[in-house]
Structure 1
């Protein structure tokens, strides 16, 4: 891991613990392997998780800031960062001072884990995508969204075991939920604390596990939700659905569901922020003499004046005919670029008229060899 922990989470070096936790939650919802399409999602998630673990431990963070990234990682290889500063032997405290929490597994971290299991913890935010067309983004609509998400197991109420299962104190950790070991390293004696693998930090062993969730306390279920798409939304913007995320721990509330919106390309309009662009084909006579033409918009057809002498490629602006401005008043504009279309097939009368036009302008054109190509190039 070569990146500085602060850079991994995208926070300042004086960031508070709350800011660090929030930054990690955002990274987790973006890069957790269960929900991310990023090919490097697992590695990025591990980096963010490691950065959060160090920077939310006051003693480890102090060590990290004092030693720097490379030296801290070297010390960590020898286990000298476990147990906080006290484990450094000479950096303050006795050989067993401080106390570092064990590393929780990825599943627990993703669904609101970390820290003590004793109190309620909010579930993690989940992320999904929803594609809408440009008309939906213009009008603002209510769409149905189907998501496959973890839910509290209905058979064991999230406990992971049947209600009538026999319980006994875990002998491996004496009911503490953690195991501590002390070992000698080149940097001194250090204490390492980790979650008890036998009881998974619960401190209690049950005679049975729930057959529905296999002891996880959660099951994957498909849910259909309704999401309000506001008028003017753009691709890449995210809607937050409160309490529609993963279930919390120990009775904590659910997290949120983050819905990233993708607006499909339109066959007629190109979008640029709140503005739209439209290419309008016109004839040579319309460009030469001027005309009033009909222009499609997302709110119906409107009329637009083409001045005489209009050149191919010229752009006209129709105010307030673009996209609604999200959470603001008004609309963007519609920019209409005209393209003079050269006819491919002419009747005899049209051909004679064009020949006369060319002669009146003093042009000597070989009609049989390249008349239309030369006419086209003149525009």
Structure 2
């Protein structure tokens, strides 16, 4: 398992917070020491927990992305806490014990100066890189045949789009602008606290101007200051062969736009598969009920049964019991990523005739007598009329 936190969780470096949390739950279940057979499960589980702790905290993730894995880990060993805005116990108090990265006393400010260089001014009014827009979710229903073959489907989804009226600014071009009095036009506010370990500095986005640094006298009448309006867009998605009911497809960068000017979020498509009139699905296997007559199961027979890629000849052995299940290998659903196919399970269901002609009735009575069965045959009204004539 790689040391890089994104690789540890198996996500991309621009994954959303929800994707990171889902990946963590999946990995944690796989490598939990109480359930995993992996001899290194405990160590891997600790790495998974550490990766989630860092990547789900905005400040820590921002620091991790800027510094890289090795430098971030080294900084943490020396007391750096990203939630403190980079100050840590060594910064802001003249340094304790010198600079752990070299230059003891020669760089003046110890770790505080180094983190400021790494962060590009963070903690002194610098802004973090823009985050991606939020993920959107929609549903798509397909048939079992679609899931068997794989299909390209068009669908329409509603999502936010930049307001044409104001160009996404949220205000008319003629609106008067002034610096936000809360943050002084910086878009961020900084709070500093003195602790026994030194000065702790925390920088957050200004709530009044939402990080823009400017307040406007008017808001756009079209989008009501949001900068975005609802828009319908038609997209095409490739549904892979073998997909299962309830699985989710992801379309990169087709979600909501970022209010910070970053990339769009992703579009998550929850796939549902409609019930089929002939087949029931269980994982990659299919189940089919075959209606047969009493003579067919007694003497055996060869019949044609449907599959999702054409009919096949199927042999019913003599003496087959009603409810007995037989397997056709490789006639089920394709497995994802091309790893063969599941099986088709055929269950025989003997159909009892609702009416018999005279010859059929006599033959069955003779069969019952030959087997020693004493069956009192109840004749219907019309049977008795026919016997009378």
The TM-score with structure 1 as length reference comes to 0.67
Residue 175 of structure 1, aligned match among 179, 182, 185: 185
Match of 1:26 in 2: 19
Distance change in 2, residues 1:188/1:122 (3 Å):
closer
Distance change in 2, residues 1:164/1:121 (3 Å):
farther
**Superposed displacement of residue 50, structure 1:** 11
Match of 2:157 in 1: 147
Contact kept? 2:184, 2:213, Cα under 8 Å: yes
Residue 273 of structure 1, aligned match among 276, 283, 306: 283
1:184-208 deviation per Cα after TM superposition (whole angstroms, max 9, x unaligned): 8999986554432332221122333
Alignment partners' CA distance in 2, 1:289 and 1:334: 23
Alignment partners' CA distance in 1, 2:371 and 2:305: 32
Contact kept? 2:16, 2:135, Cα under 8 Å: no
1:234 aligns with 2:237: no
Alignment partners' CA distance in 2, 1:242 and 1:50: 20
**Superposed displacement of residue 334, structure 1:** 1.6
1:334 aligns with 2:344: yes
**Superposed displacement of residue 93, structure 1:** 4.9
1:280-359 alignment runs, 5 A limit: 280-328=290-338, 330-359=340-369
SS of aligned partner of 1:300: coil
SS of aligned partner of 1:176: coil
Alignment partners' CA distance in 1, 2:273 and 2:221: 42
Aligned residues: 309
Match of 1:52 in 2: 57
Contact kept? 1:95, 1:190, Cα under 8 Å: no
SS of aligned partner of 1:154: coil
Distance change in 2, residues 1:130/1:50 (3 Å):
same
Alignment partners' CA distance in 2, 1:327 and 1:50: 29
Contact kept? 2:294, 2:350, Cα under 8 Å: yes
Residue 257 of structure 1, aligned match among 261, 264, 267: 267
The TM-score with structure 2 as length reference comes to 0.65
Alignment partners' CA distance in 1, 2:177 and 2:54: 33
Match of 1:109 in 2: none
1:224 aligns with 2:234: yes
1:199-214 alignment runs, 5 A limit: 199-214=209-224
More displaced, 280-289 or 189-198? 189-198
Contact kept? 1:25, 1:124, Cα under 8 Å: no
Distance change in 2, residues 1:187/1:253 (3 Å):
closer
SS of aligned partner of 1:297: coil
SS of aligned partner of 2:210: coil
Match of 1:165 in 2: 175
Match of 1:360 in 2: 370
Which runs of 5 or more structure 1 residues have no equivalent in the other structure? 1-11, 31-47, 67-80, 99-114, 370-379
SS of aligned partner of 1:261: strand
CA RMSD of aligned residues (A): 4.0
Alignment partners' CA distance in 2, 1:282 and 1:150: 56
Distance change in 2, residues 1:118/1:211 (3 Å):
farther
**Superposed displacement of residue 261, structure 1:** 1.0
**Superposed displacement of residue 133, structure 1:** 1.5
